[in-house]
Amino acid sequence: MEKAYEIKIDEEIKPKKQAVPGVPWEDVKFKVNSKDFARTMRDNGFETYEDVRTNTQLVVSLLQRLYKVDLAEVMSFARQFEEDK
Instruction: Write out pLDDT tens, residues 16-27.
Output: 556 668 999 888
Residue 7 lies in a domain: no
* pLDDT band of 30, cuts 50, 70, 90: confident
Q: What range defines the domain where residue 72 resides?
A: 25-84
Residue 38 lies in a domain: yes
- pTM beyond 0.85, yes or no: no
Residue 15 lies in a domain: no
**Per-residue pLDDT tens for 49-84?**
999 999 999 999 999 888 886 888 889 999 999 998
Q: What is the pLDDT of residue 25?
A: 86
Residue 36 lies in a domain: yes
Residue 14 lies in a domain: no
Residue 49 lies in a domain: yes
Number of domains in the chain: 1
Residue 9 lies in a domain: no
- Is the confidence at residue 7, as pLDDT, over 60? no
Neighbours of 13 (CB within 10 A): 7
58, 22, 20: which is closest to 40 by C-alpha?
Answer: 58
